């Protein structure tokens, strides 16, 4: 088993050529606005907008749909119970003797739409901008250096843990281990989890020492020089305009309207 979130190398696109500072600011602000949406209509519009950006970023469609499906399935395990709660007002309908609430169903789809939009926006940002440029852009926008370091190093550390887990899994299978519902299996899994954390910590320490030996001072540098162009301003104006319009529509709609 290995982690498969590694972003594919897509074709150059319009979003790839944009200034990372403008792109980071616009996509993050749009994501914050999506988190505030309470209307199902505006949430689905935001999802469609995010999917349009995915198409503009030229991400492999199958790769994107597969990971979006995994995210939705994970969230669905927590929201599947909402339709069975009684919310007022809204009423409900009965299916096979079960009372399904209109308001609960609306909230479930609202959460799924917002999660899909947020995931898509962040995926577009990561896929169209290298980590080095992303760190430099965040520092240019006066994001605290500690926050930038924690985000980028945490992203890398996920794959460090993935590599260590892959090695441990091979070692277990070579020794004949098979996952079963037994006390021995649970004890082994606990020991492997502890070993994974220890090995991951040791490897992270070696990476930290290597970075300091190469003169890393906490500042992320890039060979690219950021320069604002007309395309950056047009993209920011369009995205922020659509986001603001959706936010106004969401605020003007009744609280329980779809």
Over residues 140-152, the mean pLDDT reads: 82
DSSP for 129-185, written as a single string: S-HHHHHHHHHHTT--HHHHHHHHHHHHHHHHHHHHHHHHHHHHHHTT----SSHHH
What's the count of helices (H) and strands (E) in the chain, helices before strands?
8, 2
pLDDT at position 156 over 50: yes
pLDDT tens track for 192-219: 888 878 877 787 788 778 878 888 776 7
pLDDT tens track for 21-39: 999 999 999 999 999 999 9
236 vs 5, more confident: 236
- What would the two tokens of residue 234 be? 């047009």
Domains of the chain, by residue range, sit at: 11-130+226-258, 143-221
Question: Distance between CA atoms of 64 and 59, rounded to whole angstroms?
Answer: 7
- What would the two tokens of residue 117 be? 């939009």
User: Within 10 Å of residue 48's Cβ, how many Cβ atoms?
Assistant: 14
> Nearest Cα to 122, choosing from 55, 63, 53, 72?
53
**Residue 193: per-residue pLDDT:** 82
Over residues 149-170, the mean pLDDT reads: 78
pTM of structure: 0.76
Question: Distance between CA atoms of 77 and 242, rounded to whole angstroms?
Answer: 31
255 bridge partner residues: none
- What would the two tokens of residue 223 be? 């060979």
Distances in Å between the Cα of 120 and the Cα atoms of 35, 52, 63, 202 are 13, 10, 12, 34
Q: Angle formed by the axes of helices 61-79 and 102-128, to 10°?
A: 140
Residue 183 φ/ψ region, left for φ over 0, alpha for ψ in the -120 to 50 degree band, beta for the rest: alpha
98 bridge partner residues: 95
**Residue 150: per-residue pLDDT:** 80
pLDDT at position 176 over 90: no
Phi, psi torsion values for 217, nearest 5 degrees: -115, 15
All residues at 6 or more sequence positions from 243 whose CB lies less than 8 Å from its CB, including other chains: 29, 30, 33, 46
93 bridge partner residues: 100
Q: Calculate the average pLDDT of the chain.
A: 82
**Residue 157: per-residue pLDDT:** 75
């Amino acid at each position: 088993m290995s982690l498969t979130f590694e972003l594919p190398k897509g074709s150059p696109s319009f979003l790839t050529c944009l200034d990372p500072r403008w792109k980071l600011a616009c996509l993050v602000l749009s994501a914050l606005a999506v988190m505030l949406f309470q209307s199902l209509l505006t949430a689905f519009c935001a999802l469609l907008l995010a999917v349009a950006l995915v198409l503009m970023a030229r991400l492999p469609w199958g790769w994107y749909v597969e990971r979006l499906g995994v995210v939705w399935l994970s969230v669905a395990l927590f929201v599947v119970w909402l339709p069975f709660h009684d919310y007022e007002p809204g009423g409900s309908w009965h299916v096979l003797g079960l009372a399904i609430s209109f308001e609960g169903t609306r909230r479930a789809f609202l959460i799924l739409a917002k999660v899909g939009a947020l995931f898509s926006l962040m995926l577009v940002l990561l896929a169209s901008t290298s980590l080095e440029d992303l760190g430099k852009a965040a520092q240019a926008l006066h994001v605290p250096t500690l926050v930038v370091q924690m985000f980028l190093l945490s992203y890398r550390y996920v794959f460090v843990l993935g590599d260590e887990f892959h090695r441990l899994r091979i070692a277990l299978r070579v020794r004949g281990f098979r996952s079963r519902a037994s006390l021995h299996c649970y004890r082994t899994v606990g020991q492997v989890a502890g070993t994974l954390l220890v090995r991951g910590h040791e490897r992270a320490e070696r990476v930290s020492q290597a970075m300091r030996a190469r003169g890393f001072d906490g500042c992320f540098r890039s060979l690219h020089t950021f320069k604002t162009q007309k395309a950056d301003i047009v993209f920011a104006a369009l995205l922020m305009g659509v986001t603001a319009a959706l936010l106004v529509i969401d605020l003007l709609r009744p609280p329980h309207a779809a």
